[in-house]
Amino acid sequence: MPTEDEDARINQGIASDPDNPELTEADFRAAQPAQSALPVLASARRVRGPQKAPTKMLVSMRLDEDVLAAWRATGPGWQTRVNEELRRALERR
Protein backbone atom coordinates (compact mmCIF):
# COMPACT_ATOMS: atom_id res chain seq x y z
CA MET A 1 0.00 0.00 0.00
CA PRO A 2 1.28 3.47 -0.78
CA THR A 3 2.18 5.80 2.04
CA GLU A 4 0.16 9.00 2.51
CA ASP A 5 2.86 10.99 0.69
CA GLU A 6 2.95 8.52 -2.20
CA ASP A 7 -0.85 8.53 -2.38
CA ALA A 8 -0.88 12.34 -2.47
CA ARG A 9 1.65 12.36 -5.35
CA ILE A 10 -0.39 9.76 -7.24
CA ASN A 11 -3.57 11.79 -6.82
CA GLN A 12 -1.75 14.96 -7.86
CA GLY A 13 -0.56 13.21 -11.02
CA ILE A 14 -4.10 12.05 -11.79
CA ALA A 15 -5.50 15.54 -11.29
CA SER A 16 -2.89 17.16 -13.54
CA ASP A 17 -3.32 14.75 -16.50
CA PRO A 18 -5.59 16.49 -19.06
CA ASP A 19 -5.67 13.43 -21.31
CA ASN A 20 -6.97 11.08 -18.65
CA PRO A 21 -9.08 12.93 -16.08
CA GLU A 22 -10.44 11.13 -13.06
CA LEU A 23 -14.07 10.10 -13.60
CA THR A 24 -16.70 11.83 -11.50
CA GLU A 25 -20.02 10.58 -10.15
CA ALA A 26 -21.72 12.42 -13.05
CA ASP A 27 -19.52 10.52 -15.52
CA PHE A 28 -20.53 7.21 -13.98
CA ARG A 29 -24.24 8.17 -14.03
CA ALA A 30 -23.99 9.10 -17.73
CA ALA A 31 -22.15 5.91 -18.66
CA GLN A 32 -23.83 3.45 -21.00
CA PRO A 33 -23.28 -0.28 -21.48
CA ALA A 34 -20.85 -1.02 -24.30
CA GLN A 35 -23.60 -2.87 -26.18
CA SER A 36 -25.66 0.34 -26.53
CA ALA A 37 -22.77 2.82 -26.83
CA LEU A 38 -20.79 0.88 -29.46
CA PRO A 39 -22.98 -2.01 -30.66
CA VAL A 40 -20.73 -2.88 -33.61
CA LEU A 41 -17.67 -3.30 -31.42
CA ALA A 42 -19.45 -4.88 -28.48
CA SER A 43 -21.09 -7.58 -30.58
CA ALA A 44 -18.03 -8.40 -32.68
CA ARG A 45 -16.79 -11.71 -31.38
CA ARG A 46 -13.91 -13.56 -32.83
CA VAL A 47 -14.79 -17.10 -33.65
CA ARG A 48 -12.19 -19.77 -33.94
CA GLY A 49 -12.21 -21.55 -37.27
CA PRO A 50 -12.63 -25.29 -37.68
CA GLN A 51 -9.87 -27.38 -36.16
CA LYS A 52 -7.39 -28.87 -38.58
CA ALA A 53 -6.91 -31.95 -36.42
CA PRO A 54 -9.29 -33.92 -34.21
CA THR A 55 -10.34 -32.18 -31.03
CA LYS A 56 -8.09 -32.82 -28.09
CA MET A 57 -9.40 -33.39 -24.59
CA LEU A 58 -8.45 -31.20 -21.67
CA VAL A 59 -7.28 -33.41 -18.80
CA SER A 60 -5.84 -32.91 -15.37
CA MET A 61 -3.20 -35.31 -14.10
CA ARG A 62 -0.55 -35.37 -11.43
CA LEU A 63 3.08 -35.73 -12.50
CA ASP A 64 6.26 -35.89 -10.50
CA GLU A 65 7.79 -32.43 -10.17
CA ASP A 66 11.08 -33.43 -11.80
CA VAL A 67 9.31 -35.04 -14.77
CA LEU A 68 7.22 -31.93 -15.39
CA ALA A 69 10.24 -29.65 -14.96
CA ALA A 70 12.22 -31.70 -17.49
CA TRP A 71 9.48 -31.47 -20.12
CA ARG A 72 8.95 -27.73 -19.54
CA ALA A 73 12.69 -27.19 -19.83
CA THR A 74 12.51 -28.40 -23.45
CA GLY A 75 10.84 -25.08 -24.30
CA PRO A 76 7.69 -24.01 -26.11
CA GLY A 77 5.67 -26.88 -27.55
CA TRP A 78 6.50 -29.22 -24.67
CA GLN A 79 2.88 -30.31 -24.28
CA THR A 80 2.74 -31.34 -27.94
CA ARG A 81 5.96 -33.32 -27.47
CA VAL A 82 4.50 -35.08 -24.41
CA ASN A 83 1.45 -36.00 -26.50
CA GLU A 84 3.68 -37.34 -29.29
CA GLU A 85 5.72 -39.40 -26.82
CA LEU A 86 2.56 -40.87 -25.29
CA ARG A 87 1.33 -41.75 -28.80
CA ARG A 88 4.61 -43.53 -29.58
CA ALA A 89 4.34 -45.42 -26.29
CA LEU A 90 0.87 -46.61 -27.28
CA GLU A 91 2.11 -47.76 -30.67
CA ARG A 92 4.90 -49.79 -29.00
CA ARG A 93 2.37 -51.66 -26.86
What would the pLDDT profile of 11-40 be if each residue is shown by its tens digit?
A: 998 889 989 888 899 999 999 988 888 887
pTM: 0.43
Residue 58's pLDDT is what? 85
CA-to-CA distance for 76 and 18, rounded, in angstroms? Answer: 43
What would the pLDDT profile of 55-93 be if each residue is shown by its tens digit?
A: 788 899 999 999 999 999 999 999 999 999 999 999 999
Residue 54's pLDDT is what? 72
Task: Output the DSSP codes for 26-87.
Answer: HHHHH---HHHHSHHHHH--------SSPPPPP------HHHHHHHHTT-TTHHHHHHHHHH
The more confident residue out of 48 and 36 is: 36
Cβ-contact 80, 86 below 8 angstroms: no
Buried b (16+ CB within 10 A) or exposed e, 3-24: eeeeeeeeeeeeeeeeeeeeee
The predicted model gives 40-48 an average pLDDT of 73
